[in-house]
Every structure is written in structure tokens, then in C-alpha cells.
Amino acid sequence: MKNVAALLLLVLYSVPILGQPAKNVPGLSIISQKNLMKTVTFLSSKELGGRLSGSEGYNKAASYMASEFSKLKLKPFGDSAYYQKLNVEYNEIYSPVKLNLIEDGKVTKEYKLGKDFVCRELTGSGHITAPVVFCGYGLSKPEFGYDDYAAVNVKGKIVIVFKSNPSWKMNDTSNWGNGYPRFKAKLAKEHGAVGMLIVSLPNDAKPQTTIISVLEGGGEQDENFPQFHIDIPIADEILAGSGFTLKDLQTKIDSSKQPFVVQTASTIEMEVHSKYTKEKPTMNIVGKLEGSDPELRNEYVVVGAHLDHVGEQAGEIYAPGANDNASGSAAVLEIARAFIKGKIKPKRSIIFVLFASEELGLIGSKYFVDNPPVPLEKITAMINLDCIGYGDSIQVGNGKSSPNLWNVAHHQDSLFTKMMVGATWSGGGADAGPFHDKGIPAAYFVTTNSYTHLHCMTDTPETLNKTLFEEITKLAYLTAFEVVNGGYDREEVLK
Ligand SMILES: [Zn+2]
């Protein structure tokens, strides 16, 4: 019976009233490219320094968004006005940053930061000149019969290792486990290496270029071990003279499932200076729109996006983060504006939240669900917006785990936006993950083929697909509108 009632309500809310054009959902026309782009342009600007959680730039972004929440008269819903405070690992990279080829004690080639190589955002400091050894995947798993360090002495050397773990297994039970740079750096250092260059896999269908990333993996920070991500052609230049290309080496290891190390003929100078803070204060930004229904107002729909990005290196932004995720943050603000300026009196309450530190490993959204401002069982649904400004069409993820919520989005798309693809996935994803893990239905709004400029210099306001950006924001609004006003109960949405 409940199902029928819910379905009926879905139909009632979704079918446009006779004589009214379908686009007349209250508040919908308030969502505009102009407002979306205004926020994105500011958040991606030089002034905000790439918005790494813990930085001055992030704090400026947070303060700006909190003041926008305040202008809309959202109720402050953090533990200190709009701020929900938390601490994160933080690293600042100063100049000079250098990567040079050395011959006979002289620099023969200077590589360019941001183009040929980038620092891992959590790199340690160092200034070293040392010979380079290629060490495969940089793994030591003697229990599987695989050890990249077994037959080589890397003491006092710089190692080049693949950024990822192998895509193959040694046997049915072997799992390579943690392949994050912090783990690989620790292993390299334990074997005596003095620095590490990571490189993407050249045999991937679309090999990854150098990206700025703060995703370092767990464990203790080594403040004196430099780590750079170098571009594949640079690795080939370092390997020149060894008789192998990087592609040869990956093919050799992958086909034999055996380590293959190469002492290159190159010597490299690496220099970087960083200042690490284990617990740097940062914040989620949280505002509430109170529901109007005496009972349903105690149920909540969370509309969220991560505000942080990957910061700057030596005073330059190499990843402005317009799509990732100034776009989602701007959408949260415009969805709030649509509800408020559209004078919608939602039955359920809505929590608008901008998460800190997604880039370091979903720190802000995990903190939110571990320290929720309302009981988790009262959160009917979560709508996550991440990388929604670049691409071809609309995708709503986590639909296999929250099909009813996905169906709401799909139905709204069939009435309005008509840009949503059928493909979805199971199990959260990014900031939807911590909500999904707590049993909260979550829908992850993203654009298809969104990741071309991910964590790169070209993730700028200019590269965004503004029409798509507006349409996906509207679809997220329509979905939220349905859930806050519709007859769904949580059990229903959970199915
Ligand atoms: Zn990102």
C-alpha cells in the first residue's frame, strides 16, 4: 500500500498542472549559468590559491560561501555559526622546486614544474643529486613471490616507480594493498633510497599526465623524503641510454609478472622545500532551511559538495579546480537560492553543506557523518554534486544502491532536462560514500566524461560546458524538490 501511495505522490508531484508548461516548477528558473559561473570564477581565482583545506585560500572560500549562506538567511548549522570545525594534514610547498638532469656535475636539462613534473602535495623536503634506478611498481611482497627491491641496491639513489599498483595478481588471493605514494615512499626509503619519482602507466589506454594530488594514503609523514610525479616522456628521457622505454619496462613486468629493475645512466637533481602540519584547522560549511511540515521538518535532505581542491606549489596554482569542485559548490549555493528566492516551503528540512578536504580522502564528509548535526536516521537522502561542469551528459551515481532515489532523478530528467544516461553504479563514491556507508540513500550527480582536465592546469572556468552545468544543477534541484516535498519515507527511498 505504501508503495502505491508513494508512487501516486511521485506522479502527482511530477506531472505538470494542466495548462502550465513543464518548466514552471517553482524556483527552477532562478538557477542560472550567470550565478553558477560567478561563484566558479571566484573560487578558481588566483586569490583562493587552489583551495587546499587548511590554507588561507580555502579559508577565504569558506568565508565567502558562509556569507552567501548568510545572505540567503540559511540558518547557521555548524558548531560555530556556519562552520563545523575539524583538523586535517596540511603541507605547504615553497620555492625553489627543481628537477634537473645532471651530467659531469652540470645541469644539462631543467624540467618545468607544472608541465614536466609536479610535486606530490604531501612531499617531504630535500635537495639531492643522485643516480636514478627504475624499480618497477616499487612494491615488496615476498609473500607473493614479488619484490621490486630484491635484486637491486638503491642506497643513496633516486627511484622511479609506477604510480599505480599492477592490474594483475600473482595468484587468486594476492592483493597488492595500499599503493599510495606515502606507502611506496616509505618502502623506497627503507631500502635506502633518498627520493622518489612516480610515473603513470604508459600502457594505459589514456595514460595519465602529471596531476596535482594530495591523496597520499595513511601513515606517518616523512618530512625529509622528496616525491615528484613526472610525465611519461620525462621518464623516457631519464631512461635514455638504458636501452628501454617506459612502455618496454611495463610490458616486460606485466607479461612476466616478475620484477625488472634498470640502473639508468642518468643523474638527477631534486629540490623541494615543504612545511608539514599534522593537524591544521579547517571547516565544513553548514546551513539549514527549516522544513514547514510539523512532522516532516524533523527529517532532512542533505545537499552537499566538496569545496576544497589541491592547493598551489611554490606560489603557483597548477590546478584551479573549476570543475573539481567549484562547480558542485556553486550548485549547492544556487540550489539553496532557488529554494529560498522561489519561496518554497519544503516539508522536510534541508541541510546545505560544503565539505572540507575531500581531496585528502573524504575527510570532511566522514567528519560530518561521524559528528552529524542531526541523528543520521533522520537523514532521508543525500545529494552529492562533484565535477558537474565539464562533459557531455548527466550521470547519477549510486543508483544501484539507492534505486528509488535514482528513479526520482531519472523521472525528473524525463520531464525536464532529458540529458541523463542510464548507466550508474553501486556503492557511494566520493563524498556520497560516507553517507552510503551509514545506510543513507545517496545520489551522486556528475557529468559523463567529466575528468579530462581533472587536477590539471586546464580545469578553468573557460573549459566548462555551461549549458550542461546549468541543466545538471536544475536536475539536482528538481530531485531535492521531490524528496523534500514528496511522500517518500526513508525506507522507501532506501530500496
Ligand atoms: Zn578532485
Which residue, among 263, 257, 259, 208, has the nearest Cα to 232 in the 3D structure? Answer: 208
Tallying the residues shown for the chain, one arrives at: 495
C-alpha 147/C-alpha 347 separation (Å) is 59
Instruction: Say how many Å lie between the CA of residue 455 and the centre of ligand 1.
Output: 6
Q: What is the pTM of this model?
A: 0.92
Cα distances from 193 to residues 128, 130, 185, 208, 234, in angstroms, run: 11, 10, 9, 25, 20
Residue 382 phi/psi, 5-degree rounding, is -125, 135
Instruction: Say how many Å lie between the CA of residue 128 and the centre of ligand 1.
Output: 30
* β partners of residue 117: 113, 230
Each residue's pLDDT, cut to its tens digit, for the chain (495 residues) gives 344 444 444 444 444 444 344 557 999 999 999 999 999 999 999 999 999 999 999 999 999 999 999 999 999 999 999 999 999 999 999 999 999 999 999 999 999 999 999 999 999 999 999 999 999 999 999 988 999 999 999 999 999 999 999 999 888 777 888 889 999 999 999 999 999 999 999 999 999 999 999 999 999 999 999 999 999 999 999 999 899 999 999 999 999 999 999 999 999 999 999 999 999 999 999 999 999 999 999 999 999 999 999 999 999 999 999 999 999 999 999 999 999 999 999 999 999 999 999 999 999 999 999 999 999 999 999 999 999 999 999 999 999 999 999 999 999 999 999 999 999 999 999 999 999 999 999 999 999 999 989 999 999 999 999 999 999 999 999 999 999 998 666 666 555
- Please give the full DSSP string across 255-295, using - where no structure is assigned: HHTS---EEEEEEEEEEEEEEEEEEEEEEEEEEEE--SSTT
Any idea which residue has 631512461 for its cell?
239
Which residues have CB atoms below 5 A from the ion given as ligand 1? Answer: 324
* β partners of residue 158: 132, 195
Any idea which residue has 619484490 for its cell?
147
- Please give the single-letter amino acid code of residue 180: Y
Instruction: Say how many Å lie between the CA of residue 127 and the centre of ligand 1.
Output: 29
Instruction: Say how many Å lie between the CA of residue 302 and the centre of ligand 1.
Output: 21
Neighbours of 271 (CB within 10 A): 17
Instruction: Say how many Å lie between the CA of residue 169 and the centre of ligand 1.
Output: 28
Q: What domains sit in the chain, N to C, each tagged with a CATH number?
A: 2-89+278-494 (3.40.630.10), 91-275 (3.50.30.30)
C-alpha 179/C-alpha 364 separation (Å) is 23
Instruction: Say how many Å lie between the CA of residue 56 and the centre of ligand 1.
Output: 19
In the structure grid, which three cell numbers stand for residue 273, read together? Answer: 622545500
Instruction: Say how many Å lie between the CA of residue 129 and the centre of ligand 1.
Output: 32
Instruction: Say how many Å lie between the CA of residue 20 and the centre of ligand 1.
Output: 41
Kindly report, residue by residue over 37-90, the tens digit of the pLDDT: 999 999 999 999 999 999 999 999 999 999 999 999 999 999 999 999 999 999
Neighbours of 343 (CB within 10 A): 8
Angle at 199 between CA 194 and CA 204, to 5 degrees: 155
Instruction: Say how many Å lie between the CA of residue 188 and the centre of ligand 1.
Output: 27
pLDDT at 430: 97
Instruction: Say how many Å lie between the CA of residue 394 and the centre of ligand 1.
Output: 18
Kindly report, residue by residue over 104-141, the tens digit of the pLDDT: 999 999 999 999 999 999 999 999 999 999 999 999 99
Long-range contacts of 39-42, Cβ-Cβ distance < 8 Å, separation of 24 or more: 39/68, 39/326, 39/329, 39/330, 39/333, 39/334, 40/322, 40/326, 40/327, 40/330, 40/389, 40/461, 40/464, 41/322, 41/461
Residue 476: helix, strand or coil by DSSP?
helix
